[in-house]
Structure 1
C-alpha cells in the first residue's frame, strides 16, 4: 500500500520524466551556405530573366507580375502581364526583396513556417514561394519575384526566370 505522503513525490517524478519519454521532432536541416553578394544585375540581364519567366507563365496559361531587384532590393524591372490582379504588384516585389535581403529563396521561409521552426512574420520576410536569387559568377546579383498564381506556380515562374542566367 502506498503511503499518502509519497504520492506527491511519485507524481512529480512521473511528470518530470514525461518529456524525456515524449517523441521529439527531428532537428531542422542546416541550410546550405548562401552565396555572397556580387555585382548588380544589369537591365539587359533583368530583361532576359523577365522574358524567360513570362514565357513560362504564358506556356502554363498563367498571368503574373514579375519583378527583378538588385542585391539591396532596389527595383530594376517590373512587368505586369495583362489580366494579373493588382495585389500581385506588391507581393512580387516583396518576394524579390526577401530573397535578396536574406540571400535565399522565399520557399525557405515557407518551409520553415510549415515545419514550425520560424514565425510567419520574420522581419518582413515573405514566407511563400515565388522569390528566387539571381546568381552570376557564383554570387548574388539580384533576385526575381513572381506573383499571380498559387505559391507553387509563382515559384515555377521565378525559377524559370532565374535559370535564364545560367
Structure 2
C-alpha cells in the first residue's frame, strides 16, 4: 500500500482529466479507478484498505488514549484522497459528498447516485443506437457518432 507521503495527490489530480457531471459517470469512474489502482490506493474507496484501530491496545492497560501511527497515516491518506475526489467533481456532483468524512463514503454515495442515472441513460442510449441513421454524414462521421453514444 502506498502512503500519502510517497504519493503526491496533486500529481494524481493531473492524471484525472475528467470532472464528474450528470452525463459522464462511466468515463469519470473508469479513469479515476485506474489512476488509483495504479498506485494501490483504490482500496480506500472500495473498502479493501481497512481503517486500522484508532487507539493502541496494551495488554495490561487495555485500550489507551494514544492514537496509533497506522491510524494517523490512514487518516492522512484518506483525507488526501477525499480531497482528490472532490477536486474531480462538478458543482452539481459536489452536493452528493458534502459532509462526508471518508473517501469510501463519498465513492459509495456517488456510485449510488450516478449508477441509477446511468441505468436510465443506458435505456435512452440503446434507443438512440437502434434508431441512428446515417443521413448525409460520411461513414467515418456516422461511426464516430455511434462510438460516442456507445462510450
TM-score normalised by structure 1 residue count: 0.25
Larger radius of gyration: 1
Which protein has the bigger helix share?
2
Which protein has the bigger strand share?
1
